[in-house]
Amino acid sequence: MAKITNLEQKTFQGKPSGFKVTLDNGTTGNLQEKESDKGLRVGDEVIVTLIPYTSKAGVTSNLLGLKLAGGQVGGQVGGQVGGQATSSQPQAKQATQDHKGAFIFQLKFDARMKCIQIAHDAFLAGKLADDEARTHCREWVVMADALIDDLSR
């Protein structure tokens, strides 16, 4: 998770063309609006998905998919069900539990992808043989899942 420290609207030929985002962990990139929650603000705590992007001209950059952590919108807990604002406690509790499950799933997914990337990079660099990379990756995934489970309790 990270906090948004800067959210700057970009323009192209005088027209809005998206947002440049800076996070408190030093990550910068362009907001991938299709993969992000609406209504993001500076100070929001978000779950970040890094989306590598290469333009037709061959320029590479980072696109950032940002999902609000803990269901927070602009520093306040918010939610909608069926287009109507929710206020009853049972629905809010269920939404929080659903969001926590989705958050844990995303953490595990991101950790697994990082394990795969590290093992793949080590294999490509000749530091691990194919079977060693697979074995290490499996072990790292098990450890990462266990750590996330322990932290989520």
For 69-120, the pLDDT digits (tens) are: 875 444 433 333 333 333 444 555 555 566 677 788 888 889 999 999 999 9
Ramachandran category for residue 104: left, alpha or beta (phi over 0 → left; psi -120 to 50 → alpha): alpha
Residues 23-36 have a mean pLDDT of: 86
Instruction: Determine the CATH number of domain 1-78.
Output: 2.40.50
Decide: 28 and 20 in contact? Cβ < 8 Å.
yes
Is the whole model's pTM more than 0.85, yes or no? Answer: no
Please tell me the predicted confidence (pLDDT) of residue 91.
53
**Domain map of the chain by residue range?**
1-78, 86-153
